Amino acid sequence: MKPTTTDLSGLNEIQREAVRSEEKRLLVLAGAGSGKTKTLLQKIIYLIEEKGVSPSGILAITFTKNATNEMIDRLIISADNSGEYAKKLSDKSLRKPDKDKIRFEYQKKYKWIDGLTIRTFHSFCYSVLRNYGVNEFDNKFRIIGDEKRDEEDELAKHVAPETVFEVKHKLLISACEEPDYLLRLKKYILDYFVDKIHIKKADPKFDHKDNKYFTTLNGTKVRSKSEQYIADWFYRHSIQFEYEPLLNVKDFSFRPDFYIPAANLYIEHISDKSYSTIDKEEQFEKGHLLLVKTYDKMTTDSALFNHTLDRIVKNRLPADYHQTRSLVYKEEFNGYNEEVKDFVAQIMRVTDMIKVENIDLDTVLQHAKADQHERVREFYELAIPIVKSYIAYCTDKSYLDFNDLIIKCISLFRNQEDIANKFRGKFEFLLVDEFQDVNNLQVEMLKLLLTERSQLFCVGDDWQSIYGFRGSNVSYIVDFEKHFEHASVLKLNMNYRSTQNIVGASNEVIRHNKYKIDKDVQASKISEHKIVVYAGGSEEENIQFCCDKIRELNKEGISGEEIMFLYRRNKMFTPYINRFKQERIFVQAKTIHGAKGLEAKVVFILGLKEGTGGFPDIWLEDRIFQVIKKANHDLLLEEERRLFYVAITRARDKLFLITEKGNESGFLKEIPDVYTVKTGLPMRSVVEKVITCPSCYSQLEKLFTFCPYCGTKTGG
């Protein structure tokens, strides 16, 4: 291989091999803290300085705007011999807009950096469509996102005045102008959002053993699904009713199931679990009151049920009874705003998944209708019309969401060969950072840009693939050589970030995953600090431990900026931040997903317990989403384990794992004791130990007459 004049002394042997490689399809598989981004940047410099590649022929793709800026920053620092740029970046008095302006000025100063194309997937597609998209779409399109953009970047120049949520919520309200849709939606909201809560929040007269109830369309709480069915029929037909009214007859008081005031009619609903109604019927006869009985089996046949209630209820209403009521969204969903928001959020995720997986909407609905669960079938019957309306609305308004940017770009390259060839001819080298996060659409776009002469250089770590819920597909990195012809893989196995105990523990955790590429990651840093596992008896004890430990770290000279708290869910940190504010304790805090790519001298990981809301939390993948993309228990658990691995490897020097005594996360058991030190308050004995065996000195409970260990009489 030709000797290089480019300074590669800061790289290890495998990093240098990756930089110099002329393989057409190369994956640099790099563990956490192994310098994969450093290797990618050095590859860019090497191509320009050593191989004479024009900067305009290099396309570097990232996943976030922050990652793009970081890449540009590091290239500028490499070129700025004065060190002034690095000083300005570290200047805390400068705001983000100020630093963005400085970055722009320095980028223009170094023409070779300015000549590079360093973009996110979305930004690249945006640029293509803005300049050439008239052949595929309206090139005056605007970007519609999940939230309004406040960043001053290329995508922010043409932002839609409304968000995806706002549009879908508006379309949902519009769909509710059809009474049937409104009532079906309300029933879904009541059945699968509202009725998840327990009876203790409702009427105290309910004393069911399971503490469950069912909410009817008018908000009444009833005891069974079939009673809900009856009450909803009344509501649909504008018939007022009372549920379980207190009735005083001659011999005793009791509560019949329903009373229709306009018909002076009582209804007693009979189920398989109902007690005998003979005594009640006798009381009705004595009181000369009208009673009819309905049965569970009626509710299974809608035609029979409608006919029955028409006969026994409507025929008994006064001739002038024409109480009609218009159904209005605002009135019907008053008090259920949060539940509706959750429903819309589910539609938003389903829409994204459908686009990423490229599945026809009618096919999705067909699959959903075949599902064995009523909830899934009902969801898609309500959701798909909104998704169709959303797509039509965006087309009409010339909106593109972030998945649309890639979809339309792919379509443009497929349908307009001259445009595709323009970009294929321009970019000789395609470099992709964090390749483990790619989805189907992004890989398809990359393949459309590649030719036999162009080079694909990817860096990533399958052990850090944690965005499956967003559509990323870990198979593209694990099976890289299957997805790209004539591909090669290099492994970076040296971790320069964390101590040997942290690296060793993370290796042992990820070893339990089956679907992965094996790597023998080694630590370059030696330290005596073991990982601290703290198991408090309560959340308050855990918070107190963290407060005490932070103060100790501060005394050691470790500032709050070097201490990071990580957690699975934002709500896990809420009681901690409230206490920290009271005691004027400052730390960094992120969800684990949000901390990807970050590091800190000291890391605390919260919520390491079993069960719902714990870690792992493998019950998040609702069956609703599995209609589009199947995910089994093992695959979900493996992604959760990768998430734990990411959390562990954010720590440079010290790591604290916070759990719950007696309910420790199974992930903690995967870390060998050699890497940890465990602490926590001791549990109290169930029975006080008051006797010591005179022979073997075992502590025994006072009820023992003979020692169970050696047989010696104890005198107990």
- Model confidence at 445, in pLDDT bands (50, 70, 90)? very high
% the chain with pLDDT above 70: 87
Q: Give me 404's structure tokens.
A: 């649309």
Which residues have CB under 8 Å from 662's CB, separation 6+?
535, 683
Cα dist from 71 to 400, 439, 446, whole Å: 27, 22, 20
Q: Give me 430's structure tokens.
A: 């395609």
Which residues have CB under 8 Å from 618's CB, separation 6+?
633, 636, 637, 640
Given a cut of 80, is residue 690 above it in pLDDT?
Answer: no
Across the chain, mean pLDDT equals: 85
Question: What pLDDT is recorded for position 325?
Answer: 62
150-154, 296-300, 599-603, range with greatest mean pLDDT: 599-603
Question: What pLDDT is recorded for position 248?
Answer: 78
Run of H or E including 331:
helix 329-332
Question: Higher model confidence: residue 168 or residue 634?
Answer: 168
Lowest average pLDDT, out of 120-124, 156-160, 174-178, goes to 156-160
Q: Strands across the sheet with 600-608, in order?
A: 588-591, 563-567, 600-608, 651-660, 531-536, 676-679
Question: What pLDDT is recorded for position 618?
Answer: 64
Q: Note the residue count of the chain.
A: 716
Beta strands in 273-361 (DSSP E): 290-295
Given a cut of 60, is residue 215 above it in pLDDT?
Answer: yes
Backbone torsions φ then ψ of 539, nearest 5 degrees: -65, -40
> Distance between CA atoms of 370 and 19, rounded to whole angstroms?
52
Question: What pLDDT is recorded for position 146?
Answer: 78
Question: Higher model confidence: residue 471 or residue 575?
Answer: 575
91-95, 203-207, 222-226, 250-254, range with greatest mean pLDDT: 91-95
Q: What is the pLDDT of residues 25-38, one digit of tens each?
A: 999 998 888 888 99
Beta bridge pairs of residue 60: 118, 431
Q: What is the pLDDT of residues 696-709, one digit of tens each?
A: 656 565 556 677 66
Question: What pLDDT is recorded for position 214?
Answer: 78
Tracing tokens 């290797």 back to the chain, one arrives at 39
Lowest average pLDDT, out of 70-84, 308-322, 474-488, 527-541, goes to 308-322
On the 0-12 / 13-18 / 19+ scale of CB atoms within 10 A, 584 is exposed
Given a cut of 80, is residue 238 above it in pLDDT?
Answer: no
Question: What pLDDT is recorded for position 313?
Answer: 80
Question: What pLDDT is recorded for position 620?
Answer: 54
Average pLDDT over residues 239-257: 80
% the chain with pLDDT above 90: 53
Beta bridge pairs of residue 676: 531
Q: What is the pLDDT of residues 550-568, one digit of tens each?
A: 999 999 999 999 999 999 9
Run of H or E including 88:
helix 84-89
Q: What is the pLDDT of residues 534-552, one digit of tens each?
A: 999 999 999 999 999 999 9
Q: What is the DSSP letter of 274?
A: P
> Distance between CA atoms of 326 and 328, rounded to whole angstroms?
6
Question: What pLDDT is recorded for position 2?
Answer: 41
Average pLDDT over residues 600-608: 95
Q: What is the pLDDT of residues 114-139, one digit of tens each?
A: 999 999 999 999 999 999 988 888 88
Q: Give me 274's structure tokens.
A: 């109902």
Given a cut of 90, is residue 334 above it in pLDDT?
Answer: no
> Distance between CA atoms of 362 and 180, rounded to whole angstroms?
21
Peptide bond into 616 cis (omega under 30): yes
- Model confidence at 197, in pLDDT bands (50, 70, 90)? very low
Average pLDDT over residues 429-439: 95
